[in-house]
Structure formats: structure tokens, C-alpha cells
A and B are shown apart, each in its own frame.
Chain A
Amino acid sequence: MAAVRASGRAAASPQLIRKPENLWASALRRLVRNRAAVIGMVIIAILFLTYIFADRIAIKPYDVQINADNNAVPEWLVKLFPMTRGYARVNNAYPLGADSLGRDLFSRLVYGTRVSLTVALVGPLIALLIGIAYGSISGFFGGRVDNIMMRLVDVMYAFPGILFIILLMAFFRSTFGGQQAAPGTLRAFLSALDAKVGGMLFIFIGIGMTAWEGMARLTRGQILSLREKEFVEAARSIGASNWRIMFRHLLPNAIGPLIVAETLNIPGYINTETFLSFIGLGVMAPTPSWGAMIAQGALSVRTYPHQVLFPGLALSITMFAFNFLGDGLRDALDPRMRGTS
């Protein structure tokens, strides 16, 4: 956070004449001055490049098991963890070693970005879509509609989120996974769609069904305060329809802070996927996910600590980057909020 503080002091120097700039331009200016946020963005950019070019970067396929190379360890790792010297199969063809099924760890790590980054993108998207739709209806119409809709959100809040997701995943997995469904049915369609997105469809749905509540509350608050503003009254007085007021006046003004708030939730979604894959309810094997790799590596942490260390490192760095970016975005858009949780 050093960078935030430093840039704050720089901005304090008096600049009497400055061209008027809009909210977003000044936010962007503050964002690029925030060193931590820039580092976060660079890391995320690198991760996305890895995501796109995973086929070229990975040196081996992620799912080919070579039994002869189970738990293979390269020479440099043997030097780093001397206790493996006695029992490890040294094989320098694997830059980060191989897992207990003889699959290249490095390649699996590279492909693993796909799962984490997809979740990082789709999770907030679903939460925003459902949350904004729900919250804006609730806030706009107010009164009894608002009361009922918000009570429902209260109930969902009381639902232990993680347990709900676990239950949902069990439902999806056993309904749509495994056995063949009759073609043409919704089940067959969803199963096919799930296979297309690498078994992540139901993770998205699970996250979506549990993540929208916070966004709905936030949106409702924004809409409630905005709809009392003069410009809405003005629009109404010249005969604008509800529809028009909502989409032309309320939502464009509300959406910025909502997106920023949602950015701060991204590490949470990545964490949820990792957690689900860790307990075996996440993406389907052999699709590599960092969570599944950590779960597998944790089993042999006593003998091959690097198998849990590398996916753990990848995951933590990604979380760092999104946390940095989220903090930076919030500070940039609303400097008064700087440093608050």
C-alpha cells in the first residue's frame, strides 16, 4: 500500500489550473498512479496471456499420465528440498516436476489459469446481472414489492453460503454428470454445455445463485438514493417512462460503484472454485484446476512439498493481483474510501 500513500501526497501539491475532467478520466489517472494496482493489472494481464496461449506455453498435454514418471522431480528441486534426494525420481524433462499420476505440473499449472480466470470473469458477471436486475426493481418500485424482495434476500443471507453451494453442486453433479441423458432434453443440453466449458457450468450457476444477494442490496441502496434526485424528477415531469428513467437515468449513474464493489469480490469467487475443487465437487478431472492440484498435492505434502507449493503460489499470486486491483479501483473512484476495508 506504499504506493497509494505516496501518490496521495503527490496529488496534494496545489494545481490551481486544471482542465475539468470527468469522473472516469480522473479515476483512471489515480489508478495508474497507484503502484500496487498497476502491479496487480500487470499480473492479471500476464495471466490472461497465459490463458490465451496456454496451448503454446504448456510443454506437455495436461491429461497424459506417464506411470514411469510418477512424482518425478527435476534436479533443481532436489537441491531445494534435500530430503527428497533418497527417494525422488530425478527427471529434468519436467521443469516443476510431475504429479502422482505422472502429469507435468508446469503444464497443468498453465492450463489451470483457464479455470481460475474464467471464474474470476464469469462469477462477477452473473452476480452483477442478477443482483442489479433484482436490486433495481426492488429499489425502483419500493413499498411492498421492495419489502417482500428484500425479505427474500434476508433469508438467502441466513443460508450458510458454502453449504448451499456444496448441496447445489452435489445436485448438479449427480443430475447432469455421468449417465447419458436422452438427446433433445434440457438435461442433455446442460450436460453438453457443461462439457463445453470444461465442467465449470455448474460452478458458475452455484456461484451465481449465492453471490447476487450482496449486489442486490447495494444496487437497491444506490437506486433508492438516486431516484429522489432532481434529475429524476425532471425526467418524470417531462413524461419519461419508468423504463426510460431506469435505463437512461438511474442505472448509468449507479453502475460504476457497483462494478468496483464487485471487483473486490473476485478473490472470493476464485476461492470458492478452489474450495469446491479441493473437496472434489469442482471441475471434473482431468481438467486441471489449482484447487484440485492443491488437494492432490496436500496428500503428499510430507514427501513432495513442491506439489502443493506451486499451485498454492499460483493461486496466491492471482488473489494478490485481484486484491490489489480491487483496492486500487475503489481508491481511484472514491478517494474518501481509501484504506477502508
Chain B
Amino acid sequence: MSMARFIVRRILWMFVVLFVVSLITFVLMHAVPGGPFDRDKPLPQEIIDNLNARYHLDWPLWKQYAQWVYDVMVPRVTTAPPTGSLLDSYLVEFKVGKVYFRWMNFGPSYTSKSRTVNDIFRDQLPVSAQLGVMALLVAMVIGIPLGVVAALKQNSLWDYVGMAIAIFGVSVPVVVMGPVLVWIFGVALKWLPPTGWGAKPPFLLGIFPSELSFDYFKYALMPAIALGLGSSAILARLTRASLLQVIREDYIRTARAKGLAERLVITRHALKNAMIPVATVLGPMFAGLVTGTFVTEQIFGIPGLGKYFVTSIGNRDYPVIMGTILLYAVVLVLANVVVDIMYAFLDPRIRLA
């Protein structure tokens, strides 16, 4: 099968998966008793009726779901300018000549009167994504060299220490690492700010912090380590195992036999091949880090998306729940598609099935 057909098939399958994920979420979400406008002191019935009517919550469920899919999936092409209403806000909006193209309306947030789910994505997702990237960097910077050294010096002290660190990394969860780091470096030593995030919206290109200062990294260091340590351990073990396997291959013996310097054998032949499984795990790992930031955000008081998700469930803020889960699912599915494609590029031996 050709590469193009493979990619097209994967992307079509991705849409099926996302559809099912959104459907399950929708059903489960509405199965939770209570509604978004329940208060300790109940609102007058007319007000609840009005709110339900405004957000179409009085419609039958299938119609609500169909409307949601329609709003998210189907692009709007109009000549009339957008109304600017909260119900009429799209994630992708641009204008060509007199025609407005708008796509992906995730709806308003019921709890914050002036914000839509798109606004929450715009302001909070970049923070979670930055945290995820930093954690991935920490994982790579610690994990890969540790694994390489452990494999090259197999059965030496280096190996034992490296693998001991790896076991430590997988055994100390974020909920423990976070508060301990806060106490040591934030409270006792006062080297780093214990809470907060060093970048605020608007973000450069919608993702990057608008200015990279020393302070930004001071804020990011502890959360990134707390979140990335577990992944660094996984990377270290994977790198070690992969490299150990590769340096026993025939082509390494050939490279040595033809008199190549050991350094070149390792860097040019062994490492390059050993990194294939490592490279392919990075995608899902990044997706896991970005979508798994709840606890880290809570411990370090970071205004990311994870916090919004947890509170949105308590508030029955349906559009936020749907939007967040769909967004996270997109990240996870994309990561897997990228891996499949990367496999084919990195290792020509793998045939696309």
C-alpha cells in the first residue's frame, strides 16, 4: 500500500475514533445526575427554563448531540459578518474578500458568563502544552543520556546507578514529587517560585510564551521535573534496552571489523538505530504528558487546561467537558498516527500493513 493511501486511511479512521469518543462522552456526561444550573439556593424555575432554552438544553438529547457535531464539524461560509454573540464564536475564523470562513464552534462555557470554550482553549491549552513540552525535554535530557551510558557501560557502577535512578523515577509519582520539590526548592531554600506560571496570554502564534525570560524557566523548572521524571525513567530503560540489543547486531561487528573508531561505531551506527523505538515513543509520551497535567497544575498553581476540566465536571459545564475530552483525544490520536508514519520513515524494513 502506498504511503499516501496509508495516511489517508489512518486519518479517516481517526475521525471514526473521535466520533465514538465524543458520543461516549456525551452519553456519560448526561447520565450524571444534576444540571449546570443547580445551585445550593435553587434559581427560580423561569430563569432555569430560560437558560435551558438559550443553550438548547430543552431539546431532546439526540438533537443536542447532532447540533454539537454540526457546530464543531461543519464550516460556515457566510457573507454576513459574525454577530459577536458567545454562541457564535468559532476557533478558526478568517475572511477572504467579502466571505467569512468560520469553523469549530465549541459553544459557550456555562459557568463563566463571558467566555467560550474557544477562549478557554486559547488561554489555557498553551500553558498545558508548554508544561508538556518542558516535561518532555526534561525526560529526554535526563532519560536518553542515562540509558546510553548504562548500556555502553553495562554491568558497571554507571549501569546500576542509572537504572536505580530509573526505578526511582517510575516509583515516585507526581503527587509526591511535586509537594516535596515545592518544599525543598520553593520554601526551604527559596531558589525557585513555589507556584505560578511565567507566561500569560496572549501567546506567540497561539502557543509559545510571548517572551522567553530567565523567570519563565524558573517557574517552569519544578513542574517540568515533577511531571517529566517518570517519563525520563521510561526513556532511560527503553534507550538502554534498545542500545544493548543494537550493539549485538552483525552490522556493528562489521563496522568494528573494518576498523572504524569506536566513537563513530557508537554514534553513527549504534545510536542511530537504537533511537528508533525511542523516537516512536516520544509522540504518545508527549500526548500523555499534555493530557496528564491535572495534578501538576494543581500542586504548582498553574492556570492550565487540566484544572478547568476537573471543575467543569463538578459544574456540569457540558460544552467544556465535551471540548476538553475531544481536544485531548485529538492529541492522543494524532500522536499515534504520527508514530505509525514515523515508523515507516525511520525503518524501511517495516512494511505498512
CB distance from B33 to the nearest CB of A (A): 5
What residues of A have a CB within 8 angstroms of the CB of B183 in the complex?
A: 301-302, 305, 308-309
- B28 x A305 contact (CB < 8 A): no
How many Å lie between the Cα of A170 and that of B234 in the bound state? Answer: 31
Interface residues on A, range: 35 or more
Q: Confirm or deny: B86 has a beta carbon within 8 angstroms of a beta carbon on chain A.
A: no
- How near does chain A come to B35, taking the closest CB pair, in angstroms? 11
Contact A163/B179 with A1-B160, A1-B164 known, Cβ cut-off 8 Å: no
In the complex, are the beta carbons of B173 and A305 less than 8 A apart?
Answer: no
Contact with B along A179-208 (1 / 0, CB 8 A): 000000000000000000000000000000
- Asked if A17 is at the interface of the complex by the 8 Å CB criterion, the answer is no
Q: Knowing A163-B325, A323-B170 touch, does A339 contact B310 (C-beta < 8 A)?
A: no
Contact A162 B21 (CB under 8 A): no
- In the complex, the chain A residue whose C-beta lies closest to that of B334 is A158
User: In the docked arrangement, what's the CA distance between A167 and B314, Å?
Assistant: 10
0/1 string, B268-311, CB within 8 A of A gives 1 = 00000000000000000000000110110011000000000110
> A171 to B28, Cβ gap below 8 A?
yes
Report the minimal beta-carbon distance from B205 to chain A, rounded to whole angstroms: 25
Chain A CB within 8 A of B17 CB = yes
Residues of A within 8 A of B (CB): 1-2, 5, 154-155, 157-160, 162-163, 166-168, 170-171, 174-175, 267, 271, 274-275, 278-279, 291, 294-295, 297-298, 301-302, 305, 308-309, 312-313, 315-316, 319-320, 323-324, 327, 339-341
Q: A312 near B244 (CB under 8 angstroms)?
A: no
Is the CB–CB distance between B179 and A278 below 8 Å?
Answer: no
B171–A320 CB distance below 8 A:
yes
Residues of A within 8 A of B188 (CB): 305
- The 8 Å CB contact of A158, one of B28, B172, B180, B329, is B329
Q: A159-B24, A163-B309, A294-B179 are in contact. List 7 more A-B contacts (CB 8 A).
A: A1-B160, A155-B21, A171-B32, A294-B176, A305-B183, A308-B179, A312-B175
CA distance A319 to B172 in the complex (A): 7
CB-contact partner of A323 in B20, B34, B167, B178, under 8 A: B167
Contacts of A2 in B (CB 8 A): 160
Residue B123 is within 8 A (CB to CB) of chain A in the complex: no
Q: Tell me the bound Cα distance from A141 to B180 in angstroms.
A: 51
Enumerate chain B residues within 8 angstroms of A305, measured Cβ to Cβ: 183, 187-188
A159 to B18, CA, bound (A): 9
B221 at interface, CB cutoff 8 A: no
In Å, the complex CA distance between A80 and B187 comes to 15
8 A Cβ contacts from B144-180 to A: 155, 159-160, 163-164, 167-168, 170-173, 175-176, 178-180
What's the A-B contact tally at a CB cutoff of 8 Å? 142
Mask for B1-44, Cβ within 8 A of A = 1, else 0? 00000000000010011101100110011011110000000000
A316 to B182, CA, bound (A): 17
| Cβ contacts A to B, 29 pairs, < 8 Å | A1-B160, A5-B155, A154-B17, A155-B16, A158-B18, A158-B329, A158-B333, A159-B21, A160-B325, A163-B324, A167-B25, A167-B313, A171-B32, A275-B294, A278-B175, A278-B295, A279-B295, A298-B175, A298-B299, A301-B182, A305-B183, A308-B183, A309-B180, A309-B183, A316-B171, A320-B167, A320-B171, A339-B163, A341-B237
